[in-house]
Structure formats: structure tokens, C-alpha cells
Amino acid sequence: MGVSVPDGPLEDPSAGLRRPLRVGVLVSGSGTNLQAVLDAAGADAPFGIVKVISNVPGVRALERAAAAAVPSEVVDHRRFSDRTAFEDALLSSFRAAEVDVVVLAGFMRLLTRQFLDAFPLRTLNVHPALCPAFPGVDAPGQAIAWGVAITGCTVHFVDAGTDTGPIIAQAAVPVHPEDDAARLHARIQREEHRLLPLALRWFAEGRLRVDGRRVRVLPDADDGRATEGASWPSTSTR
């Protein structure tokens, strides 16, 4: 199931947005991917983090936002009568912060068409598996249970399915015989921390082109490289 992917080619999902892009981040936990994005949002970056929202009070991600002097807020989903009211509150906060693009960095709630239609092809997620394999929770545990030799992480546009949106970039990570889910997840996270800021930079630089489910990364003006179905960084053996 998927939504918000146009029938024809989309020249540039970031077209018409200001630079540097104003990024809002949704979190639910420790915020290591948030930290990677905060670290990448330096003075020369084409994007800046302007708002962090957590649906869980007291998480480490809120401390990371405070340390970076980024405004943050708790919007606890348990305080709302339904998903519509919860997403209304998220949208109200992001609109007040003039957010252009949303990043899900360990956000453990599904978003509906209501939210996604407000940010069409402008909501990015990182998932600890090579989509479409192992969607949903505990993807590293699923990889261990299935006995695969290779897993990894995926940055993708968000649609109304579970980790089913168009793939922007992937990085492969080998599964070692001695791995348990926690050890494997730690190695996957190292790739996530590189891949998510890279994909966000591509978006902010206007280098992404979407045609249905296919995403192409245009060449960097400095090095002339282009990728399609990007798999970058390469397989990690660490």
C-alpha cells in the first residue's frame, strides 16, 4: 500500500522550497539518527534543523535537541483521542516552525495520508533493513530469525504503508554468525548515521528525481557522479 507518489515523473520533490531547507524531525527514543542529522547541519549545509518533536516524554533525543539549541516539543500521542487529532497537533507545530521537509529519526508511529499529504514526497525515513525486506519493528531481529547473510538500512520517502515508500539510498551490512539482534543493530546504525544525512543533503541540493517508485540521484556538480537506486555507502564489514 502506498500514497503520495505521482503517476508521472516528478522533476524535483524539493522544487520551490527555500534554501537552506527548514527541517523538522520526529523522534521517539535515544535520537542517535537525530544526532547524525544535527551534526551534518553545519554552517555550510543546505539544510538546518528548526524543530524536533517527540511523541514520548523524557527521551534522550530531546536532550540532544536542547544541546544543539534546537527548539523541541513533546506531542504525546496518548493524550489524543484519535490519530487525526494527534497528527493535527504535529502539523500545527511544524507549520508554526515553517518546516519544509520532515525526517523520521526513530519515530515509532505510523503516519496517515492526513500528515503525508501536507508534506508530499517531503517526508523521509531511515529503516534498519534493505527494504522491502523486514518492514516494521525489530528489523535486525527479523534478519537474524530468517538467517540472511546480508541486511542493511534504507532511506526512503514515506508513504502510507509500513516502510514501503520509494527508496532513496541503501547500505548493506553483513550478518555475522555470532550476531544477535542488538549487535547487528549497532552495526546497522553506523551506516544509518552516514546514509540519512547524505540523503537529506541530496534532497536539499535538489538532486533527487522521482518517477513512480524509482528515485534517481543527479550528479554532484563537483564530481559528476550520478546514482540510481543508490547503494551508498558500500557494504560495511565492521
Tell me how far apart the alpha carbons of residues 151 and 184 are, in angstroms, rounded to a whole number: 9
DSSP 39: H
Tell me how far apart the alpha carbons of residues 55 and 26 are, in angstroms, rounded to a whole number: 8
Residue 232, pLDDT score? 46
Q: Which of these is catalytic: 77, 127, 176, 193?
A: 127
CATH of 9-231, one of 3.40.228.10, 3.50.50.60, 3.40.50.170, 2.30.180.10: 3.40.50.170
CA separation, residue 31 to residues 6, 15, 127, 195 (Å) = 32, 29, 14, 15
| Cis preceding-peptide flag for 233 (omega within 30 of 0) | yes
Give residue-wise pLDDT tens across range 74-100: 999 999 999 999 999 999 999 999 999
Retrieve residue 191's grid coordinates: 551506516
Closest CA to 198 of 33, 60, 77, 55: 33
Task: Match 532513496 to its residue by C-alpha cell.
Answer: 168
> 182-207 burial, b if ≥16 CB within 10 A, otherwise e?
eebbebbbbbbbbbbbbbbbbbbbbb
Tell me how far apart the alpha carbons of residues 81 and 2 are, in angstroms, rounded to a whole number: 25
pLDDT band at 220 (very low <50, low <70, confident <90, very high): confident
Give residue-wise pLDDT tens across range 107-156: 999 999 999 999 999 999 999 999 999 999 999 999 999 999 999 999 99
Q: Could you confirm whether 127 is annotated as catalytic?
A: yes
Retrieve residue 205's grid coordinates: 541540493
Asked which of 26-35, 161-170, 220-229 is least confident by mean pLDDT, the reply is 220-229
- Name the average pLDDT for the chain: 91
| Cis preceding-peptide flag for 197 (omega within 30 of 0) | no
Closest CA to 136 of 109, 173, 96: 109
